[in-house]
Amino acid sequence: MTFRRRKSRTAKVADVLGTYLKFKAASKAAKGARKAAKGTAAYQVAKRTPVVKRIPLVAVAGAAAFLAAKLARSGRGESAPAT
């Protein structure tokens, strides 16, 4: 049987704050990736082409934004502090 240590109120608040900051950083990274994808030449060309031809280009740009957001959420995008 393992004993579970109860967290103090300050530890709980610190955990909630840390989680909030992680989600906020991930959302900002996703927003930045979205803006970067919109600035790419592929997106600009896709804007000027007919709808049927632009579907693959928009799909690639969306996948790139999704992967960037996923990497930001997983923490691989940032460098870990040395211990």
Average pLDDT over residues 16-44: 84
pTM, two decimals, is 0.42
Average pLDDT over residues 4-23: 90
More confident residue, 36 or 20: 20
Cα dist from 69 to 11, 15, 48, 83, whole Å: 28, 22, 26, 27
- The Cα 73–Cα 53 span in angstroms is 32
Percent of the chain with pLDDT over 70: 75
Q: Indicate the SS3 state at residue 27.
A: helix
